[in-house]
Amino acid sequence: MGIELPTVEVRFEQLTVQAKCHVGSRALPTLLNTARNIAESALGLCGVRLGRQATLTILKDVSGVVRPSRMTLLLGPPSSGKTTLLLALAGKLDPTLRRTGEITYNGFRLDEFVPQKTAAYISQNDVH
C-alpha cells in the first residue's frame, strides 16, 4: 500500500524528578495525619508553614533514547522509578512533582508536541 506510519523518537537528558513528602510518623496515612495535613494546607494559603517535609529524589540525572520502531524493555527492582520515568515521558506526571531536565519528541519539547496523538501510556492494574 505504501502507507508510512508516523514514528517518534523520544530523548530524555538529565531528567530528575523530586517530591516533597512528610517524614517519620507523619508519613503514615492516619486520620490524625490527614486532619493535620488539611489544617496545614489551609494555613499554607495564608503563608504559615508548620510541617517539616523532606525532598525525595525519585529519578536523578537519567538520560536515554527510545528509538522508533524498536521494542524497549525497562527493568528495575520495585520502587526504582520505572513508572515515574514512563509517566514523565508520556507527559502525565503529577503536577506536585518537580521535574528538571529535557524531554524531546522528534526534537520538539513537551510543550511543543502532543505525545497523546502518537503514543499511549496505559497504567498497569495488578489484581492479586
Short-list 50, 45, 58, 59, CA closest to 26: 50
CA proximity to 54, closest of 22, 30, 29? 22
pLDDT of residue 126: 65
- Residue 81 to residue 76: CA distance in whole angstroms: 8
pLDDT tens digit string along 36-74? 888 887 887 777 777 677 888 999 999 999 998 888 888
Looking at residue 13, its pLDDT comes to: 95
CA neighbor of 103 nearest in space, from 20, 16, 7: 16
Residue 10 pLDDT greater than 70, yes or no: yes
Give the pTM: 0.74
**pLDDT tens column, 71-117:** 888 899 988 999 899 889 888 889 989 999 999 998 888 788 777 77
At 77 the pLDDT is: 92
Q: What is the DSSP string of 88-120?
A: HHHT---TTSEEEEEEEETTEEGGG--GGGT--
